[in-house]
Amino acid sequence: GENVEQHPSTLSVQEGDSAVIKCTYSDSASNYFPWYKQELGKGPQLIIDIRSNVGEKKDQRIAVTLNKTAKHFSLHITETQPEDSAVYFCAASPMNTGFQKLVFGTGTRLLVSP
Amino acid sequence: DVKVTQSSRYLVKRTGEKVFLECVQDMDHENMFWYRQDPGLGLRLIYFSYDVKMKEKGDIPEGYSVSREKKERFSLILESASTNQTSMYLCASNLANQPQHFGDGTRLSIL
């Protein structure tokens, strides 16, 4: 089955710096890659997603890149702000499930210091 | 906005008890999911349902069952709770090929 690895497990940056979180996946049939942000006491919230027919997607300060050949995808946050502090999860969805059965990475705790 | 509501934020039960976790969504989504979240392990899928009365096992179904009698409601059942089922439980729902929306979770402690 699909396996998703996520690095780093913790990331500390200064406000205004960029942050990059990386994930690798094992199943070449995966075709959907969402990123979720989880704030303390809340459930995960989708912040951006990408499908395998696209190499990069951007939404304001957040971007995701996908390298299908290497089977890895990354989340880039520019001009970080204290409110970006949270746990971030990547996920991959194998194509043959039909019901968007997501396999999640283990999470990255991002701390943005003022 | 999509609303996924989990009935309890915190729950404390004893080993051997039968435990029910409830989840309701208000967007007429076909698919509903139950995950458990543990530190260092991310989110792992327990069960999901793609229609009323339909269910499929996820990656860690042992010790759990589910019920979906109405489209908007998906229940997770711990038949005989054990201490290793102490965890955060997250419910999600979606339309086919659309992003999953999560509730805020139920933190369950089994003593």
Q: Does the pLDDT value for residue A95 go beyond 80?
A: no
User: pLDDT tens for residues A38-78?
Assistant: 999 999 999 999 988 878 999 999 999 999 999 999 999 99
Q: How far A14 CA lies from chain B's nearest CA (Å)? A: 24
Provide mean pLDDT across the span B70-81: 96
Q: How many CA atoms lie within 13 A of A24 on its CB side?
A: 6
Give chain A positions within 8 Å (CB) of B59: 1, 103
Q: Say yes or no: A106 contacts chain B, CB-CB below 8 A.
A: yes
Candidates B41, B44, B97; nearest CB to A100: B97
pLDDT of A101: 83
User: pLDDT tens for residues B30-40?
Assistant: 999 999 999 98
Confidence of residue A96 (pLDDT cuts 50, 70, 90): low
Calculate what percentage of chain A has a pLDDT beyond 90.
82
Beta strands in chain B (DSSP E): 4-6, 10-13, 19-25, 31-38, 42-51, 54-57, 64-70, 73-78, 87-94, 101-102, 106-110
> Is the CB of residue A64 less than 8 Å from the CB of residue A76?
yes
pLDDT of A94: 75
User: pLDDT tens for residues A2-35?
Assistant: 899 999 999 999 999 999 999 999 998 898 999 9
Q: Say yes or no: A105 contacts chain B, CB-CB below 8 A.
A: yes
User: pLDDT tens for residues B38-48?
Assistant: 998 999 999 99
Confidence of residue B102 (pLDDT cuts 50, 70, 90): very high
Q: Does the pLDDT value for residue A99 go beyond 70?
A: no
Calculate what percentage of chain B has a pLDDT beyond 90.
89
Q: Does the pLDDT value for residue A97 go beyond 90?
A: no
Local structure of residue B7 (DSSP, 8 states):
S
Contact partners, residue B39, CB within 8 Å, separation at least 6: none
Provide mean pLDDT across the span A69-98: 91
